A and B are shown apart, each in its own frame.
Chain A
Amino acid sequence: MALNPDLVGRQYPPSPVYVVGREKVREFAAAINDTNPLSTDLDAARAAGFADLVAPPTFAFVITHVAMGNAMFDPDLGLDYTRVVHGEQRFEYHRPLVAGDEVTVVAMITSIRAAAGNDMLTLRSDVLDPAGDVIVSTHSVIVARGTGSKEAA
């Protein structure tokens, strides 16, 4: 089943507030073997001018992938989640996420297209500070394999 193209531009309500936890940053850094002291050593992070531990660059996806679910599971969209793979991921950083940040995520469908028999869904998720300023934007291409047309083989 092809995705509903009318949903391009649909924006979802802000996520509940996510508090970036100091130990979550440490746990994530350890999980990817990131030994940067700014992500593990509070004194080092503060000496470098940060309020707290600095999250590794891809940590933002931990926050945004939950909000992306609002779009992916939108019943109007018609996405078969069992056929989904992550096709592309891009981040635009305005500043790094730091432990103690209280953020919300606003997700939006920016593109729906078919290519080589697959449906391609592009989602933008903005991670916002309490003032509404963007900390980081993530752009994710979600591929639903073999649902776009009869050409799927």
Chain B
Amino acid sequence: MTAAISFDAVEVGTALPDRDVTITRVDLIRYAGASGDFNVIHWNRRIATAVGLPDVIAHGMYTMAQAGRLVTDWIQDPSALVEFGVRFTRPVPVPDDDAGAIVRYSALVAEKLPDRRVRLDIKAVHADATVLGRASAVVQLA
């Protein structure tokens, strides 16, 4: 399989479709079970606030997974992902309500590389603050 996007069809600055991801408590519970990361700060407000956090916070890897989904939904072929990295710059508190926390994900082509690869710069913003720093992916385009 190859990526759904042709190298020839993109330029530096080409934007991927952006999206808002809503994170609620049940998303964190489900992710804890699926990932095996049961750190209490992701589901217990009492302990989260005791260690200085404003509330239960999302798993960093959950916020990274959503950035990954933005990329793989674009290329459609997960095997076309070559590199993927982020810094966790700020936690995403998730309130105990139905509205949850909203993170806005966006990405664009930052550099065209040899061998029909591109580097994507990814942004993830919650409450006007960047939650993933230096987030980027290298993908093999068709």
Q: Is the interface of A mostly helix, strand, loop or mixed?
A: mixed
Contact (Cβ within 8 A) A27 B34:
yes
B71-108 vs A, CB cutoff 8 Å, 1 = contact: the mask equals 11100111101111111100000000000000000000
| CB of B114 closer than 8 Å to a CB of A | no
Q: Does B10 contact A (CB under 8 A)?
A: no
- For the complex, give the distance between the alpha carbons of A93 and B78 in Å: 10
Given contacts A38-B78, A56-B69, A96-B79, contact A89 B31 (CB under 8 A): no
Chain B residue contacts of A89, Cβ below 8 A: 60-61, 64, 85-86, 88
Contact with B along A15-26 (1 / 0, CB 8 A): 000000000100
Chain A, Cβ-Cβ closest to B137: A57
Given contacts A32-B65, A39-B78, contact A88 B87 (CB under 8 A): yes
User: Shortest CB–CB separation between residue B53 and chain A, in angstroms?
Assistant: 10
Q: Smallest Cβ distance from B22 to chain A, in angstroms? A: 10
Interfacial chain A residues near B21, Cβ < 8 Å: 33
Q: Is A153 an interface residue, CB under 8 A from the partner?
A: no
Q: Is B20 an interface residue (CB 8 A)?
A: no
- What residue in chain B is nearest A24 (Cβ atoms)? B34
Q: A137 to nearest B CB, angstroms?
A: 10
Contact between A36 and B76, CB atoms less than 8 A apart: yes
- Our pick among A31, A34, A39, A92 for the contact of B35 (Cβ within 8 Å) is A31
Interface presence of A49 (CB below 8 A) = yes
Interface residues in B32-81 (C-beta closer than 8 Å to A): 33-37, 51, 60-62, 64-66, 68-69, 71-73, 76-79, 81
Residues in B whose Cβ lies below 8 Å from that of A66: 36
How many residues of A are in contact with the other chain, CB < 8 A? 37
CB pair B76 A56 closer than 8 Å: no
Instruction: Identify the closest chain B residue to A54 (Cβ).
Output: B78
Q: How far is the CB of A27 from chain B (nearest CB, A)?
A: 5
Are the CB atoms of A87 and B87 closer together than 8 Å? yes
Q: How far is the CA of A106 from the CA of B64 in the complex (A)?
A: 23
B1 is an interface residue with CB less than 8 A from chain A: yes
Q: Which residues in B have some Cβ–Cβ distance to A below 8 Å? A: 1, 21, 27, 30-31, 33-37, 51, 60-62, 64-66, 68-69, 71-73, 76-79, 81-88, 134
Q: Which 9 A-B pairs have the closest CB atoms?
A: A90-B85, A31-B34, A32-B65, A48-B1, A57-B68, A58-B65, A96-B79, A31-B30, A28-B34
Can you list 28 A-B pairs, Cβ within 8 angstroms, ordered by A? A27-B33, A27-B34, A31-B34, A32-B62, A32-B66, A33-B66, A33-B69, A34-B65, A36-B76, A36-B78, A39-B78, A50-B1, A56-B65, A57-B81, A58-B61, A62-B34, A62-B35, A86-B88, A88-B86, A89-B61, A89-B85, A89-B86, A91-B85, A92-B82, A93-B84, A95-B79, A96-B78, A141-B87
